[in-house]
């Protein structure tokens, strides 16, 4: 665990992204296999039918093995699709290993689906989010674009938040002692790393 409270989010983001990129392909593969195992062990996993995830980029821990296993178990899996316009907004497109894919404006693959066929975050049971750093209160630092926070703001404002469950995915070294939250940050229900699961102390499982 790294102690980075006194540092700015920009400094934390730079350091963690550099560390992610330095991981070897073999280390990434082993981390992805461990991540798959730890996701499948989640108590809530068996009851999840519609799961949002992501394709790894920029050294992120890779959930693809977990996605493939989820699909093999009959679950529907979705990946982020950038919504048109200037506001940071994502919806989710259905994904399978046969899906047609295209690069978005950040050079990240996303399903080539129509806007009509996309689903809103609130329609999913579980979203597995990428992150740059996290603490045990369920706070996360992302890439800085605000896409997840903006897209989940309506869900988080509900008095009764039943779904989606928000689980961050990260390499173990991305855990820090404490992060200072911004008012627009959406807390996670928990975090899964290559070493295990951390239940959020602020929300609880």
Asked whether residue 203 carries a pLDDT value surpassing 80, the answer given is no
Mean predicted confidence (pLDDT) in 164-169: 95
Supply the mean pLDDT for the chain: 89
Residue 143's pLDDT band (cuts 50, 70, 90):
confident
Contact call for residues 185 and 203 (beta carbons, < 8 A) = no
**pLDDT for 45:** 94
**pLDDT for 128:** 97
Mean predicted confidence (pLDDT) in 196-204: 79
Mean predicted confidence (pLDDT) in 159-168: 79
Distance between CA atoms of residues 191 and 184, nearest Å: 19
Mean predicted confidence (pLDDT) in 129-147: 89
Asked whether residue 205 carries a pLDDT value surpassing 80, the answer given is no
**pLDDT for 83:** 86
CA atoms within 13 A on the CB side of 87: 7
Mean predicted confidence (pLDDT) in 186-204: 86
Asked whether residue 5 carries a pLDDT value surpassing 70, the answer given is no
Secondary structure E strands in the chain: 50-52, 76-82, 90-95, 101-103, 109-111, 126-130, 133-134, 140-141, 165-170, 190-193, 197-199
The tens digit of pLDDT for each residue in 67-101 reads 999 999 999 999 999 988 767 889 999 999 999 99
Asked whether residue 154 carries a pLDDT value surpassing 90, the answer given is no
Collapsing DSSP to helix, strand or coil, 66 comes out as: helix
**pLDDT for 156:** 62
Mean predicted confidence (pLDDT) in 35-40: 97
Distance between CA atoms of residues 105 and 168, nearest Å: 23
Going from N- to C-terminal start, the domains of the chain cover 9-79+121-196
φ and ψ at residue 87, rounded to 5 degrees: -70, 140
Q: Which of 13-17, 154-158, 197-201 has the highest mean pLDDT?
A: 13-17
| Residue partners of 59: CB distance under 8 A and separation at least 6 | 17, 19, 20, 21, 22, 23, 28
Mean predicted confidence (pLDDT) in 147-158: 75
Domain 9-79+121-196 belongs in CATH node 3.10.20.30: no
Mean predicted confidence (pLDDT) in 158-179: 85
Q: Which of 32-41, 76-85, 175-184 has the highest mean pLDDT?
A: 32-41
**pLDDT for 85:** 75
């Amino acid at each position: 665990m790294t102690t980075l409270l006194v540092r700015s989010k920009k400094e934390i983001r730079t350091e963690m992204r550099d560390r992610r990129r330095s991981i070897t392909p073999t280390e990434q593969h082993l981390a992805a296999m461990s991540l798959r195992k730890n996701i499948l062990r989640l108590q809530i996993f068996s009851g999840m039918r519609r799961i949002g995830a992501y394709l790894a980029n920029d050294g992120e821990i890779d959930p693809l093995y977990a996605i493939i296993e989820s699909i093999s178990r009959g679950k529907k899996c979705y990946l982020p699709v950038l919504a048109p316009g200037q506001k940071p907004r994502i919806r989710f497109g259905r994904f399978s290993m046969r899906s047609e894919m295209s690069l978005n404006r950040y050079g990240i693959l996303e399903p080539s689906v129509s806007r009509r066929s996309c689903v809103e975050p609130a329609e999913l049971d579980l979203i597995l989010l990428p992150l740059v750093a996290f603490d045990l209160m369920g706070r996360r630092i992302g890439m800085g674009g605000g896409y997840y926070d903006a897209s989940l703001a309506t869900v988080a404002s509900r008095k009764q938040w039943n779904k989606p469950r928000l689980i961050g995915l990260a390499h173990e070294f991305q855990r820090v002692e404490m992060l200072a939250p911004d008012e627009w940050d959406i807390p996670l229900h928990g975090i899964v790393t290559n070493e295990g699961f951390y239940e959020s102390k602020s929300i609880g499982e």
